[in-house]
Chains A and B, each alone.
Chain A
Amino acid sequence: MKTLLILGGGTGGTMVANRMHELLDSSQWRIIVVDRDEMHYYQPGFLFIPFGVYKPHEVVRPKRNFLPSDVEVVFSDIELIEPDKNQVRLAKDNRVIQYDYLVIATGSHIRPDEIEGMLDGGGWQKNIFDFYTLQGATKLADFLRTWEGGRLVLHVAEMPIKCPVAPLEFVFLADWFFHERGIRDKVEIVYSTPLSGAFTKPQATAVLGDLLARKGIDLVADFNISEVDNSKQVIKSWDGREVPYDLLVTIPTNMGAEVIERSEMGDDLNFVPADKHTLQSTQWENVWIIGDAGNVPASKAGSVAHFMLDVVVENILRHIDGLPPRPDFDGHANCFIETGFDKAVLIDFNYETEPLPGKYPLPGIGPLSLLKETHANHWGKLTFRWLYWNVLLKGGEIPVSSQMLMAGKWAS
């Protein structure tokens, strides 16, 4: 009996388990998934919780429901990965699992402790909140329900972060939320980023920067945070600037799992070095990555994990057959960007091509529009939650190809 061991049963790990369960012969292979948390979180839904659009229970389901019954699921902390011995140590019962193939899908998470004064300055979850965790988003919802206004500063600590558009969506939705509540004139909204503009890619930066300006949201660029001083209610940058706040919404440093660091398998942010086209570990040929856990220079997003799925699965099967991996992952990402007032922008890009205007997924027809604010895009985003629970996690096909298509895009 051979073993495919999947570490992490979030977006990526669940998809791999489902797809592999269909493809591997169960008389020869056992599939094991390890995760510390029995619940699966629909993280894209966290964005909507502070504004009361989604309730916490709408974004949480038991992990077990999304995995085939003959896949073994172990709920335990992963203690140590020992890739030279092809084994993994778990906290629960000190179990050691030997594997033939390992898929690392332990994701990324926020580390507010990386920023001085963030957790220990007295403001944490009083007037300083994150929304990248369900708990943070829920506490922020409680706070916003009764807030009467002031200066709201959203800051991004450092790149990369998962879902790099989520912070922008947050300020767009905040603008809408305060309008609806009739207190927009009492709220100043500030977007502070270490980047030189609203986003990383030129055309999208122009479109999104323009949206910020139109919504009266101030942009503070090139701001690398050095500390939070909650006694003065300012964030400070390394080059000596200060931005005052009443309410601070933080996107702290995002890092890979601590077990990656303990196992000495990661880079400085605990992301696992992997080939950006094959998704194979650069050090161990039977180790593969999917989702946020790898160091590949693609966006850390659920949609990207989905586009990685075909490539990882194909390459593991090829490896089993003694064939070399195919360099088929092109960094494809597509993200809906909620812009408030029931509208959204859709962007589609990969390693080589920046987001361009056009129609998606059917060239010239759509129904979705790229790099443009429309109502249809907003309904697309809301439909995504249904697709996520019912299709994506099961490793099912959505009518979108893994590799990015240039048809339908207006590359001038």
Chain B
Amino acid sequence: MTTAELLNGIEFDKDGYMVDAGAWTPEIAEALAAEEGITLTDRHWVVINFARQEYAANGDAPTIRRITKRTDVSTKELYQLFPDGPAKQAARIAGLPKPTGCI
């Protein structure tokens, strides 16, 4: 299946985040990453897996601070992995809703 075909059957919200986190697969992550110009490495997967785990536990994608506190990925590396804003980009690739952020 091509990337386009893979993503075709999936519902996204207006900001491009998956509506149903349950429909996510690692293949979808590869396809979404490709759209953002990212080729996923093991280090990306540390972040993506952590983000999914956090979402399952707390119902919210993790903040940058949380990712760097709870994994061995530093803030600097996180920005290298996800240059367009790690919290949002990692959440999108992990098939999670846009992080709610703060008021």
A159 touches B101 (CB 8 A): yes
Q: A158-B65, A268-B63 are in contact. Are A297 and B79 (CB under 8 A)?
A: no
- 1/0 per residue A297-309: CB within 8 Å of B? 1110000000000
A299 touches B65 (CB 8 A): no
A268 touches B103 (CB 8 A): no
Q: A222-B85, A268-B63, A269-B65 are in contact. Are A238 and B75 (CB under 8 A)?
A: yes
* Interface membership of A164, Cβ < 8 A: yes
* Interface membership of B43, Cβ < 8 A: no
* Interface membership of A352, Cβ < 8 A: no
- In the bound assembly, the distance between CA atoms of A195 and B85 in angstroms comes to 11
Within 8 A of A (CB), among B50-96: 63-66, 69, 75-76, 78-79, 83, 85
Q: Which residues of A contact B69 (CB under 8 A)?
A: 268
* Interface membership of A56, Cβ < 8 A: no
* Interface membership of A180, Cβ < 8 A: no
- In the bound assembly, the distance between CA atoms of A333 and B102 in angstroms comes to 14
Q: Which partner residue on chain A sits nearest B66 by CB separation?
A: A268
- In the bound assembly, the distance between CA atoms of A269 and B63 in angstroms comes to 11
* Interface membership of B100, Cβ < 8 A: yes
B103 touches A299 (CB 8 A): yes
Within 8 A of B (CB), among A218-254: 222, 224, 226, 238-239
Q: Which partner residue on chain A sits nearest B60 by CB separation?
A: A297
A160 touches B66 (CB 8 A): no
Q: Which residues of B contact A203 (CB under 8 A)?
A: none
A297 touches B76 (CB 8 A): no
* Interface membership of A200, Cβ < 8 A: yes
A159 touches B102 (CB 8 A): yes
Q: Which of B63, B66, B102 contacts A297 (CB 8 A)?
A: B102
Chain A: interface residue total (CB-CB under 8 A): 18
Q: Which partner residue on chain B sits nearest A269 by CB separation?
A: B65
- In the bound assembly, the distance between CA atoms of A158 and B68 in angstroms comes to 15
Q: Which residues of B contact A164 (CB under 8 A)?
A: 102-103
A298 touches B103 (CB 8 A): yes
- 1/0 per residue A69-108: CB within 8 Å of B? 0000000000000000000000000000000000000000
Q: Which of A159, A160, A238 contacts B79 (CB 8 A)?
A: A238
Q: Which residues of A contact B101 (CB under 8 A)?
A: 159, 195, 200
Would you give the shortest CB distance from A315 to chain B, in whole angstroms?
22
Q: Which residues of B contact A222 (CB under 8 A)?
A: 85
- In the bound assembly, the distance between CA atoms of A195 and B103 in angstroms comes to 10
Q: Which residues of B contact A239 (CB under 8 A)?
A: 79, 83
Other A-B pairs, 19, CB within 8 Å; known A238-B79, A268-B69: A158-B65, A159-B102, A159-B103, A195-B101, A200-B102, A200-B103, A201-B103, A224-B64, A226-B76, A238-B76, A238-B78, A239-B79, A268-B65, A269-B65, A297-B100, A297-B103, A298-B103, A299-B103, A333-B103
Pairs A–B under 8 Å by Cβ, sample size 18: A160-B102, A164-B102, A195-B101, A200-B102, A222-B85, A224-B64, A224-B85, A238-B75, A238-B76, A238-B78, A238-B79, A268-B63, A268-B69, A297-B100, A297-B102, A297-B103, A298-B103, A333-B103
The 5 A-B pairs at the shortest CB distance, nearest first, are namely A159-B102, A160-B102, A238-B79, A299-B103, A268-B65
